[in-house]
Amino acid sequence: GADVTIESLGTQETFENALRSLRPGGTLSSLGVYSGKLQMPYDAFAAGLGDHRIVTTLCPGGKERMRRLMETVRHGRVDLTPLLTHTFALDDITDAYALFGDRKDGVLKVAVKP
């Protein structure tokens, strides 16, 4: 499995996939914004969840981790464009939030441009 997985979509399915992809002792970095309750899969405990570390941007050190991730993206080592499914003008930000919140039209991530 992977040393580190990054979950950035905020869905139950992607969280579980990221968790299952880890090697024993691996780290899941959860950046996603979850619209509902995130359920910890029981089978993950049976598979050794205690051997994994889950970190979020809401825990201490989150800003530093986010800075390092953004540097990785800025230097072209990670391409996030496949996650960007919709772009809105700033004047249409209400529509952008509605689309993202309703998870319609295959939305993954939304960009808002001034």
Same domain, 95 and 58: no
Same domain, 32 and 50: yes
What's 70's domain CATH number? 3.40.50.720
Same domain, 12 and 68: yes
Nearest to 30 by CA among 50, 14, 48: 14
Q: Which domain holds residue 112?
A: 79-114
Tell me the three state secondary structure of residue 39.
Answer: coil
| Residue pointed to by tokens 């205690």 | 50
- Tell me the longest C-alpha to C-alpha distance in the chain: 48
DSSP for residue 15: H
pTM (2 d.p.): 0.51
Q: What is the pLDDT along the chain (114 residues), one digit of tens a residue?
A: 899 998 888 888 888 899 889 888 899 888 877 766 777 776 665 565 568 788 876 645 567 777 887 788 889 888 888 889 999 999 999 999 889 888 889 998 899 998
Buried b (16+ CB within 10 A) or exposed e, 57-91: eeeeeeeebeeebeeeeeeeeeeeeeeeebebeee
Same domain, 62 and 98: no
